[in-house]
Amino acid sequence: MALVDTALRGLKPQQKPKKYSDGGGLHLLVNPNGSKLWRLVYRFEGKQKTLAFGVYPKVSLADARALRDRAKKALADGIDPARNTNSATTDHDTFEAIGREWLRAQEPTWAPKYAPQVFRQFERDVFPALGARPITDIEPSEVLKLLRAVEARGAQDIAKRLRQKISAIFRYAIASDRAKHDPAANLKGALKPPPKTRHMAALKAGEMPEFMQRLRAFDGQAKTALALELVIHTMTRTNEVRFGRWAEVEGGLWRIPAERMKSGRDHVIPLSQQAKAILERLRALAGDSEWIAEGTRGKPMSENTMLFALYRMGYHSRATTHGFRATASTILNESELWRPDAIERQLAHVPGDSVRSAYSAALYLDERTRMLQWWSDKLDEFEAEGKPVQATTNSRLSDTDLSDLLGT
């Protein structure tokens, strides 16, 4: 039975690899890790062989069928299609095949938690770009292009480590007579250092346990601490919480309209169980107010209220409300459990690339739902790791004193 694109897009990974046939020996192999690989099984001179046509959806269904037809024509002419490396290559000569061979060889030497991270890095960043290519045909510019894409999301350390591992795979291929040179060898100097930009003060992961305990011990107004918690759990900007209305919250979603977003586009935020509990407490404090984070005299919370709370907790010049977005982004990216595009979408960053910026308010919603629950659970872990604290001495500073610190 012929395959259709709509069905292919919805295929989910199983516990074991599963093949979906399109006829004529062409099938899509769906691995447990979620990768979808085009394969053509054929016989030549009495031997069964397999061709790799690349990764779906980068190689479309129509493209895979065209490659199958080209291979069939070669067979009809008495030619082994594996010799035509412009259209396909044998499985054992592709970068992915040799790469996985090297990864499996290294796996016993790695820590149990490290090996899955490395495999995820390659399946996310490397194999989609190089996997289906004959390893002998790969040029330095191709390797640099994928490393630049990793750098572009701010993951310079990951780009550096990937270059080292890619280079090791080429050296392994050279040692086993399957490659002649290492195109990644001289790219170390080509990788760009992190840009020197000024960022909002943000806490590192190691500082979060103490912070979460200090937030729990905050002796100011409860709604201030809850609003700050909501910012952290939802990865939102301060004003998105300050001007949030109860009418925007429905079920497990918070829908922020375009006119309140910096991007100028609607933003849908899936709510974790912890975020829902925070909202329930804020609603109890709000009474009949329309505002999620009410200030005084029926108005939204003032601009610096949450920042002043950080000062009262002892975090002047050490943390800002906006900085928690950077903290969350760093921890989520370093976990390597989530696609960078899902993290960027949760931050309401709209990519500049014309293809990637095809917009939907609910883009990556399923993944972001799981991701935000993971993030909220991680915040709970941080709090559990921290030592209980008393309210800081700064907690007695008045708003006037805090304004002096701000220079306002």
Judging by DSSP bridges, how do beta strands 36-44 and 253-256 pair with one another?
unpaired
Judging by DSSP bridges, how do beta strands 36-44 and 26-30 pair with one another?
antiparallel
What is the SS3 assignment for 255? strand
Planar angle of CA 273, 277, 283, nearest 5 degrees? 140
Pick from 63, 44, 47: nearest CA to 55: 63
Q: Which helix (H) or strand (E) holds 70?
A: helix 61-76
Q: What b-and-e string marks burial along 372-407, b requiring 16 or more CB atoms within 10 Å of the CB?
A: bbbbbebbeebbeebeeeeebebbebeeeebeeeee
Helix intervals (H) in 77-155: 95-106, 114-121, 127-130, 140-152
Q: Which helix (H) or strand (E) holds 400?
A: helix 399-406
Using an 8 Å Cβ cutoff, are 319 and 201 in contact?
Answer: yes
Planar angle of CA 251, 382, 162, nearest 5 degrees? 95
What is the SS3 assignment for 28? strand
Alpha carbon dihedral 347, 352, 355, 356, in 10-degree steps, equals -20
What is the SS3 assignment for 325? helix
Q: What b-and-e string marks burial along 312-325, b requiring 16 or more CB atoms within 10 Å of the CB?
A: bbbbbeebbbbbbb
Helix intervals (H) in 194-265: 208-216, 222-234, 238-242
What is the SS3 assignment for 253? strand
Using an 8 Å Cβ cutoff, are 236 and 328 in contact?
Answer: no
What is the SS3 assignment for 288? coil
Task: Just list the catalytic residues.
Answer: 237, 262, 322, 325, 349, 359
What is the SS3 assignment for 19? strand
